[in-house]
Amino acid sequence: MMSTNAISVEGVTKTFRIYKEQFRTIKERALHLGRIPFSEFDAIHDISFDVPEGSMTGILGHNGSGKSTLLKCIAGTLTPTSGEISVRGRMAALLELGAGFHPELTGRENLYLAGSILGLTKLEVESRLSSIVEFAELEDFIDTQMKHYSSGMFARLGFALAANIEPEVLLIDEVLAVGDEAFQLKCLDQIRRFNESGVTMLFVTHDVDLASSICDELIVLDHGRIISQGSPREAAIDYRKSLHARNDSTEPHSTSPTEEVSIVSVSLESEDRPVMTVRSDEPIGINVIATLTKPISDLVVAYAIKTIEGTLVHSSNTKLLNVDLSGVGSELDLTFVFENLPLLEGMYEIDIGAHSLDGSTLYTQANEVKRFTLTNSSVGAGIADLAVRAQLK
């Protein structure tokens, strides 16, 4: 049986004209006889892909890779210069949470306005109103002018509206970067529910871990071209390689490590799934993927967990943990496994480094390569979560 495609993109190119100077007025145009010097550049070039119905595809790319342009073309706000895009089903685009909200209007008034921009009738908004407000947790503020909202409240109402319009095709652009963590988790939850109920989703982000943890397939864009397309794990590696290539050319490391080892990815895993938030009482793994130009007999890989302020919490390395890396060929896939992390709730960072056994040669170093949130219900101040109780005599 052939599965149908909800979104199909065929050879789409979007060319922007970059004017050397902006001659907007008639006088200026007349002076230049209508010829304004410009150069053309393709924000996206000959992009083709299909998104099967009910699947979740992520588009990864660094800033300026054309991922937002591509999404806008699919959403219809931009018209491609050439190529064809077709979308099957009711489409909703979350290009920016809260787009279409007017600060002078109240939350309720804005829901009707933004709802009708998204194509909902008044009755359809009315019937969803209570669930939208509940989802956004804005029961007390719905009749307040939105200029008094915090940016988080703005975004919450935006996502709540989008989550409740029951789209068949949903385009999401970097929208989860807003709101507090609790709400981000709620949004992710909603996205998973959409996924389960068969909504086709196209998800644009530069957060590799997030994308690889929720998407079925990833497309990696670099300078407007697709450089990789396929399973999340492979695509994520390709993406990191492309980022790495960019970083190497632009900012050389101050510690001047040798180039025998390059770290491709560092991720946190729980039950073999990438995660961003960990609980203090569950097993967790720090997974490191790196490429080696040649086998290194005295390779040691080290990690350090630090608080966000930079205080070292714990560090160790493969030598101390009695793992021999001399047999590793061109690709290293290593996981440091923790039974639990008895630390207090907060944000932590991971450094990864590779050096020789005696420490004389630094192969690579990646500081603050991974930031994660740890949740813990224990209270207390400091870093460590010590098992303690108070006893009165």
Partner 1 sequence: MIEKQKTSQKSRKSVDNRSIRKIFSYRELLFNLTKTELQLRYKNSVLGFIWSLLNPLLYLVVFSLVFQEILRTSIPMFAIFLLSGLLIWNFFSSSLNSGTGAIIGNASIVKKIWFPREVLPLASVGASAIHFFLQACVLVLALLIFQHEPNWAAISLLPLALLVVIVLASAGAITLSALNVYYRDIQHFLEISLLAWFWLTPIVYNYNLVADRLGSSDWVAMLNPITPVVLAFQKALHNPPAGYLPDVSLWQYFQNLAIVLSVGLILLWGSLRLFQRLDSQLADKI
Residues that bind partner 1 (CB under 8 A): 16, 24-26, 72-93, 95-96, 99-100, 102, 104-105, 109, 112-113, 116-122, 124, 145, 165, 167
Smallest separation, CB 141 to partner 1 (Å): 17
Smallest separation, CB 127 to partner 1 (Å): 13
Residue 53 or 282: the one with the smaller Cβ distance to partner 1 is 53
Residue 82 or 231: the one with the smaller Cβ distance to partner 1 is 82
Torsion of CA 66, 72, 76, 80, to 10 degrees: -10
Residue 43 or 352: the one with the smaller Cβ distance to partner 1 is 43
252, two tokens: 């050389």
Residue 83 or 283: the one with the smaller Cβ distance to partner 1 is 83
Smallest separation, CB 80 to partner 1 (Å): 5
Smallest separation, CB 83 to partner 1 (Å): 6
Smallest separation, CB 378 to partner 1 (Å): 43
- Asked if residues 203 and 212 have their Cβ atoms less than 8 Å apart, the reply is no
CA dist 327 and 225 (Å) reads 37
Residue 52 or 89: the one with the smaller Cβ distance to partner 1 is 89
Residue 17 or 393: the one with the smaller Cβ distance to partner 1 is 17
CA dist 25 and 29 (Å) reads 6
Smallest separation, CB 138 to partner 1 (Å): 20
**Gap between the terminal Cα atoms of the chain:** 75
Residue 174 or 269: the one with the smaller Cβ distance to partner 1 is 174
Task: Let me know if 117 is exposed, middle or buried by CB neighbors in 10 A (0-12, 13-18, 19+).
Answer: exposed
Encode burial over 45-84: b for 16+ CB neighbours within 10 A, e otherwise.
bebebebbbbbbbbbbbbeebbbbbbbbbbbeebebbebe
- Asked if residues 171 and 94 have their Cβ atoms less than 8 Å apart, the reply is yes
| Position 268, amino acid | L
Nearest residue to 343 via CA among 304, 307, 297: 307
Smallest separation, CB 289 to partner 1 (Å): 36
270, two tokens: 């729980």
